[in-house]
Chains A and B, each alone.
Chain A
Amino acid sequence: MKVEVANLSWGVAEAQIVREVSLDCPPGSFVGLIGPNGSGKSSLLRCVYRVLQPDAGTIHLDNDEVWGLSARQAAQRIGVVLQEHSGEFDFSVREMVFMGRAPHKALFERDTAVDLQIVEAALRTVNMLDFADRSFLTLSGGEKQRVLVARALAQQTRFLVLDEPTNHLDIRYQLEVLDLVRGLGVTTIAALHDLNLAALYADRLYVLKEGALVASGPPEEVLTPALIERVYGVARRGRTPPAHRAAAYRLSAGVAPGASSNSVRSMPMAEPPLMNRYARHIFICTGRYCDPEGRAPMLYARLAQWLGDLGRYENPCRVKRGTSPCLGVCHGGPLVVVYPEGIWYHHVDEALLKRIVDVHLGEQQPIAAHIFHRLDEESEGTST
């Protein structure tokens, strides 16, 4: 479904919240909406999913203007995953997902076996089928969020709107939920706080500030340090956290980096059994931001040796030497990114991996910068 937003404005009496925003989402595209808190992302999305009536401008789904549709017709075309999961009423997980079938049901129509199949397939997709009889209110934040994604899937729409869909999710489910949505191949608009995720998943990013569009385009063009500083008002931070730097030294010296660290994201690379189970891609990110001390070749050799020992390592492909990324591939699990200051694993496909590499090869390194930013924040909370 093609989605077009043209010159959309919305405001309350005293303030203009969204100012003449235009978005263009080709069929099947994943469009990311980023911007600081209060920049109008949610209001814009509310207009798109027909909860707020815009003061000016139009929203077209293919050829239908959203406000020309009834609430029910709109709900048959737009699936929405919200941040809110309030309510004090104790629905079961299955009942929650069944609500996604409501837009397709006539007043007197009962739920059919087909509906049940759709609901269970949606639950299976988000890995929550085992929870179908659980009470929704007893779930953790991440589980709730996945159920809400399943509800939107059960609506079977060709267009999804996600408002901060990865809030409450840990890194694994952030990536899984977004992988899942991307894998559906439906047109998607997602408001995202996490710039790394925005960079990884969006085909196109729109950047909002104070309700107006300040930039748009492919992530690698949009996410420049200058823009981040202009929009978010923060300078890039490239400090290497001491704990991770120590791990990197140990890694380069052939010492198990994860041995003494129980940090979540620093996967125990030096333990071959885990490696065997999870690793599919090994990606050593280097360059000015990631590897100021030029240790990548050493890391790479070390990895090759481990993986070779495991007999799972094939097609080593050293993309570039020296200050550029190095890459090796082995099969069977998520992407493992090795940074000098620690190891992070991502569940991504090869196309995504290629994009990361491309970005770095082009010496445009916003992703690395943001990951650093994130590592900084997290290490302040977790490392000792």
Chain B
Amino acid sequence: MSQAAHTSAVPARPLAVTRLGFGALLAGLALVLLLSITLAVMIGPVPLAPGLVWRVALHQVVPGLITPDWATFQQNIIWEIRFPRVLLGGLVGGGLAVVGATMQALVRNPLADPYLLGVSSGRVARGGGGDPARLQCVWHLLARDGGFSRRTARLRRGLRPGPAGRPAHHRATHLSGVAVSYVFSALTNFLIYNADDGEEVKSVIFWMLGSLGGARWDYLGLPALALLFGTLYLTVQARSLNALSVGEETAATLGVDTSQFRRQTFALTALLTGVLVAVSGGIGFVGLMLPHILRLLVGADHRRLLPVAALAGAIFLIWVDVLARVVVAPQELPIGIITALLGARFSSG
């Protein structure tokens, strides 16, 4: 048969499909990430030299290697303020992109995002009222006083096998997520409405929009661990994610235990999202649009998409946070405002 006629309309294949090309892409992204971290630490009200940034970092990691020749305030700015913030931005950005890509595959909808399961609204409702101990809220999310357990109960209802042994449908999960979101946004609105003073309102809204403003070193551990293991786990499971993103039944015929896999992966993504939201609030767009854009670059195969999403998400959010800091300096914009604007720009253009 003549296939020449068909091949004329071949669209350009994504870059980096070959193993070599993909390795180069990952290395390149890692390099850009490193560069971004350096630049993001340098940029701010007090300008700093790149050499200084890494010397301070080295000094902190391996004390005694370098004799400090910088002022204490410089060290404080670099190590106590900017580094945690930039790294947190990287972790949150990478995490949201990975979770977003996973969530889109799980519900087979390219418009899904990490907050689909209602985790962020829950966090905002809990975090509102100016609770300063954010990490503690992660544990609230996990188990402590019912917030998470109620949520998981809701999720479990969505994931449990349907009547007559029919596999649970992801729509049920999606719908429970949406329902949970509504419940918690009602709660959040109630908090705002009922707030005693302007500060409290501001605090709630701050969480709704998301910010990396309060980053501290001790906030980084859990998100870093969660992101590392989450991304590893998901990348290892990428074949199943691929199959599931093509179709529920297809995945089953390709040897994926779909209900169990979906249950596990939803739980993992909910946990990851919970951790991320607890440290940064609900930052939009990253988890929704970034996986979408990256698929154009590396294709839909999650073995490539997920590592690239982790790196690109980190780079992206680091730079967005730089913008958030400098646009109206010395004031700071909630980062969610910028991501939302970028998202709107991308979607419409």
B299–A95 touching, CB < 8 Å: yes
A90–B1 touching, CB < 8 Å: no
In the assembled complex, which residues on chain A have CB atoms less than 8 Å from the CB atom of B1? Answer: 127
In the assembled complex, which residues on chain B have CB atoms less than 8 Å from the CB atom of A12? Answer: 163-164, 166
A89–B255 touching, CB < 8 Å: no
In the assembled complex, which residues on chain B have CB atoms less than 8 Å from the CB atom of A96? Answer: 246
Contact with B along A53-90 (1 / 0, CB 8 A): 10100000000000000111111101110101111111
Contact among A73, A78, A108 with B253 in the assembled complex (CB-CB below 8 Å): A78
Q: Which residue of the partner chain A has the closest CB to B104?
A: A89
Contact with B along A9-25 (1 / 0, CB 8 A): 00111000000000000
Can you add 15 more A-B contacts, CB < 8 Å, to A49-B253, A87-B247, A88-B110?
A13-B164, A55-B164, A71-B258, A72-B255, A79-B253, A84-B249, A87-B108, A89-B300, A90-B295, A95-B299, A95-B300, A99-B246, A102-B242, A135-B13, A143-B6
In the assembled complex, which residues on chain B have CB atoms less than 8 Å from the CB atom of A108? Answer: 236
In the assembled complex, which residues on chain A have CB atoms less than 8 Å from the CB atom of B156? Answer: none
In the assembled complex, which residues on chain A have CB atoms less than 8 Å from the CB atom of B167? Answer: 51
A80–B253 touching, CB < 8 Å: yes
A305 at the binding interface (Cβ < 8 Å): no
Give the docked Cα–Cα distance between A103 and B252 (Å).
10
A105 at the binding interface (Cβ < 8 Å): yes
In the assembled complex, which residues on chain A have CB atoms less than 8 Å from the CB atom of B295? Answer: 89-90
A107 at the binding interface (Cβ < 8 Å): yes
In the assembled complex, which residues on chain B have CB atoms less than 8 Å from the CB atom of A13? Answer: 163-164
| CB-CB contacts below 8 Å: B203-248 with A | 236-237, 239-240, 242-243, 245-247
Q: Which 3 A-B pairs have the closest CB atoms?
A: A75-B255, A103-B255, A72-B255
Give the docked Cα–Cα distance between A72 and B260 (Å).
13
Q: Which residue of the partner chain B has the closest CB to A95?
A: B301
Give the docked Cα–Cα distance between A15 and B132 (Å).
56
Contact among B13, B17, B236, B252 with A50 in the assembled complex (CB-CB below 8 Å): B252
Give the docked Cα–Cα distance between A79 and B3 (Å).
27
A184 at the binding interface (Cβ < 8 Å): no
Give the docked Cα–Cα distance between A346 and B104 (Å).
44
A84–B11 touching, CB < 8 Å: no
| CB-CB contacts below 8 Å: A302-341 with B | none
Contact with A along B250-270 (1 / 0, CB 8 A): 101111111000000000000
Contact with A along B301-339 (1 / 0, CB 8 A): 100000000000000000000000000000000000000
Shortest Cβ gap from B304 to chain A (Å): 10
Give the docked Cα–Cα distance between A87 and B159 (Å).
21
B243–A52 touching, CB < 8 Å: no
B348 at the binding interface (Cβ < 8 Å): no
Q: Given A72-B255, A75-B254, A131-B6 in contact, is the A89-B110 Cβ separation under 8 Å?
A: yes
Q: Given A88-B110, A105-B239, A135-B11 in contact, is the A99-B249 Cβ separation under 8 Å?
A: no
B87 at the binding interface (Cβ < 8 Å): no
In the assembled complex, which residues on chain B have CB atoms less than 8 Å from the CB atom of A46? Answer: 249
B105 at the binding interface (Cβ < 8 Å): yes
A134 at the binding interface (Cβ < 8 Å): yes
B62 at the binding interface (Cβ < 8 Å): no
Shortest Cβ gap from A154 to chain B (Å): 10
B347 at the binding interface (Cβ < 8 Å): no
Contact with A along B149-174 (1 / 0, CB 8 A): 00000000000000111110000000
In the assembled complex, which residues on chain A have CB atoms less than 8 Å from the CB atom of B245? Answer: 87, 89
Q: Which residue of the partner chain A has the closest CB to B260?
A: A71
Give the docked Cα–Cα distance between A334 and B36 (Å).
64
Give the docked Cα–Cα distance between A348 and B11 (Å).
35
Q: Given A76-B255, A131-B6, A134-B10 in contact, is the A84-B108 Cβ separation under 8 Å?
A: no
Q: Which residue of the partner chain A has the closest CB to B4?
A: A130
In the assembled complex, which residues on chain A have CB atoms less than 8 Å from the CB atom of B10? Answer: 133-134
B239–A87 touching, CB < 8 Å: no
Contact among B104, B253, B299 with A91 in the assembled complex (CB-CB below 8 Å): B299
Most A C-beta atoms less than 10 A away, residue of B166, B236, B247, B300: B300
B65 at the binding interface (Cβ < 8 Å): no
Contact among B109, B166, B236, B242 with A99 in the assembled complex (CB-CB below 8 Å): B242
In the assembled complex, which residues on chain A have CB atoms less than 8 Å from the CB atom of B194? Answer: none
In the assembled complex, which residues on chain B have CB atoms less than 8 Å from the CB atom of A211? Answer: none
Most A C-beta atoms less than 10 A away, residue of B9, B163, B256, B301: B301
B72 at the binding interface (Cβ < 8 Å): no
Q: Given A82-B253, A90-B299 in contact, is the A102-B164 Cβ separation under 8 Å?
A: no
A82–B250 touching, CB < 8 Å: yes
| CB-CB contacts below 8 Å: B1-54 with A | 1, 3, 6-7, 9-11, 13, 17
Q: Given A13-B163, A89-B110, A127-B1 in contact, is the A71-B252 Cβ separation under 8 Å?
A: yes
In the assembled complex, which residues on chain A have CB atoms less than 8 Å from the CB atom of B242? Answer: 91, 95, 99, 102
A90–B253 touching, CB < 8 Å: no
Give the docked Cα–Cα distance between A368 and B110 (Å).
49
Q: Which residue of the partner chain A has the closest CB to B108?
A: A87
In the assembled complex, which residues on chain B have CB atoms less than 8 Å from the CB atom of A134? Answer: 7, 10-11
| CB-CB contacts below 8 Å: B103-154 with A | 104-105, 108-110
Contact among A71, A92, A133, A143 with B255 in the assembled complex (CB-CB below 8 Å): A71
Give the docked Cα–Cα distance between A70 and B249 (Å).
15
Cβ contacts A to B, 24 pairs, < 8 Å = A12-B164, A13-B163, A51-B249, A51-B252, A52-B166, A70-B255, A71-B252, A71-B258, A76-B255, A85-B247, A87-B247, A91-B301, A92-B17, A92-B299, A99-B242, A99-B243, A99-B250, A100-B254, A102-B242, A105-B239, A107-B236, A108-B236, A133-B10, A134-B7
A102–B3 touching, CB < 8 Å: no
Q: Which residue of the partner chain B has the closest CB to A129?
A: B3
In the assembled complex, which residues on chain B have CB atoms less than 8 Å from the CB atom of A127? Answer: 1, 3
Shortest Cβ gap from A130 to chain B (Å): 5
Give the docked Cα–Cα distance between A74 and B256 (Å).
10
Give the docked Cα–Cα distance between A143 and B10 (Å).
14
In the assembled complex, which residues on chain A have CB atoms less than 8 Å from the CB atom of B247? Answer: 82, 84-87
Give the docked Cα–Cα distance between A207 and B236 (Å).
44
